[in-house]
Structure formats: structure tokens, C-alpha cells
């Protein structure tokens, strides 16, 4: 086994929906790629990018499985200049599990794993992506933290007209655990 496969994959089952949450490992990259391809309109990254997400960014990413099948994935990373801020890059939820709160459960599991070292969350959302807005508003409410949004990437200026504008969403500050 290589160094990446031997990572701790602390698992957590929820009784409500029988999901297993764990850190990704190096062999998850192709499954992540397939999951994202099925989750239109998500942007599909290269499989190599997904391999890096599952290895270099495993600590700040999460996999959800049901019955041994990957049904959810969140990739993220800590902002280099703000290590207390988790940037959520992408949230993918298989159609078979949508409407069950899986995205919210994965986000909370990931934040709990990171602990109080993270007190802010950033992501970007297109203005018309109601499902994502609903998920992150729900997360902010459950964290009892403010949610603010501002322009980050403009359709014309940054994407050359090839992609919708992206709003930066900032949730925080928040604290998951009380200090003793």
C-alpha cells in the first residue's frame, strides 16, 4: 500500500440515511470524476485534478457512500493566506440521494473533522443555483453564523462570457466546539 491509501479513513454512519462519511483516498479519483460528470451542471475537472483532490486535499475533502457506492463528494482547501478559512470548491451529490440533506450533512461532518481551526467558510455560487444557495443558507443557520455574498468572478471579465458569474459566499465566524 502506498502512503495515500494508508490514510486514516475515519468513518461515520448516520442512522437516518445510512451514509458513510470518510476522507477520500488515492483510489477514489476516478469515482469522483464519474460522480461529478453525473451531477450536471457541475464543471467537470480533469481526472488528474480529482486525484489531487483525493490525495493532496484529502484532509479538507469528504466522501459520502451508501451501500458501498460513492454518492457524494466535497472538495475543499484552506486558503493559504487565511488558514482559518475553508474554501469549498465543489459539492457533488448523486441524483439518487438528492433531497435528503446529504450536502448539508457532508459539510457539517467536514467542519467537525477540521474542528475549531476553521472558523470561516467560503464558496462560490452562481446567482441562479437555488439548491446551492439553500444548502449554504441552511449551513449558516445551523452554525448560527452570518452569511454574506459579493461578486467574485464576473461572466465577461473573468470567464470571457463562457460561464455564469460566481458570487463569493462567506459564512462566519463560527465555532463548532466549545473550548474547555
Residue 6 has pLDDT above 50, yes or no: no
Query: Is 157's pLDDT higher than 50?
Result: yes
> Does residue 72 form part of some domain?
yes
Q: Could you tell me which residue, 33 or 1, shows the higher pLDDT? A: 33
Its pTM stands at 0.87
Q: Is residue 105 part of a domain?
A: yes
In a domain, 47, yes or no: yes
Quote the domain boundaries for residue 140.
12-171
Q: Residue 151 to residues 17, 78, 169, 171: CA-CA distances in angstroms? A: 36, 20, 9, 15
The answer as to whether 178 is a domain residue is: no
| HEC string for the chain | CCCCCCCCCCCEECCCCCCEEECCCHHHHHHHHHHHHHCCCCCCCCHHHHHHHHHCCHHHCEEEEECCEEEEEEEEEEECCEEEEEEEEEEEECHHHCCCCHHHHHHHHHHHHHHHHCCEEEEEECCCCHHHHHHHHHHHHHHCCCEEEEEEECCCCCCCCCCCCEEEEEECCCCCCCCC
Calculate mean pLDDT across residues 138-165. Answer: 94
More confident residue, 161 or 177: 161
Is the pLDDT assigned to residue 1 strictly greater than 70?
A: no
Q: What is the pLDDT of residues 87-139, one digit of tens each?
A: 999 999 999 999 899 999 999 999 999 999 999 999 999 999 999 999 999 99
Q: Is residue 7 part of a domain?
A: no
pLDDT at 16 over 90: no
Query: How many domains does the chain divide into?
Result: 1
CATH of the domain at 97: 3.40.630.30
Q: Is residue 1 part of a domain?
A: no
Report the phi/psi class of residue 75: left, alpha or beta, with left for phi > 0 and alpha for psi in -120 to 50. beta
- pLDDT score recorded for residue 4: 30
Establish if 2 belongs to a structural domain.
no
Q: Answer yes or no: is pLDDT of 5 > 50.
A: no
pLDDT digits (tens, 9 = 90+) for 44-91: 999 999 999 999 999 999 999 999 999 999 999 999 999 999 999 999
Residue 180 lies in a domain: no
pLDDT at 18: 87
- The model's confidence at residue 10, banded by pLDDT at 50, 70 and 90, is very low
Amino acid at each position: 500500500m502506498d502512503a495515500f491509501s494508508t490514510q486514516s479513513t475515519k468513518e461515520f454512519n448516520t442512522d437516518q440515511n445510512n451514509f458513510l462519511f470518510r476522507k477520500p483516498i488515492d483510489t477514489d479519483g476516478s469515482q469522483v470524476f464519474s460522480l461529478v460528470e453525473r451531477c450536471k451542471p457541475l464543471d467537470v475537472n480533469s481526472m488528474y485534478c480529482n486525484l489531487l483532490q483525493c490525495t493532496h486535499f484529502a484532509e479538507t475533502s469528504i466522501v459520502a457512500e451508501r451501500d458501498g457506492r460513492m454518492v457524494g463528494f466535497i472538495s475543499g482547501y484552506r486558503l493559504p493566506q487565511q488558514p482559518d478559512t475553508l474554501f469549498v470548491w465543489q459539492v457533488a451529490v448523486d441524483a439518487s440521494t438528492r433531497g435528503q440533506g446529504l450536502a448539508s450533512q457532508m459539510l457539517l461532518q467536514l467542519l467537525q473533522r477540521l474542528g475549531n481551526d476553521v472558523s470561516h467558510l467560503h464558496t462560490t455560487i452562481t446567482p441562479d443555483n437555488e439548491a446551492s444557495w439553500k444548502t449554504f443558507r441552511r449551513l449558516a443557520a445551523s452554525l448560527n453564523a452570518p452569511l454574506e455574498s459579493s461578486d467574485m468572478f464576473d461572466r465577461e471579465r473573468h470567464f470571457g462570457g463562457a460561464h455564469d458569474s460566481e458570487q463569493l459566499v462567506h459564512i462566519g465566524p463560527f465555532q463548532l466546539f466549545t473550548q474547555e
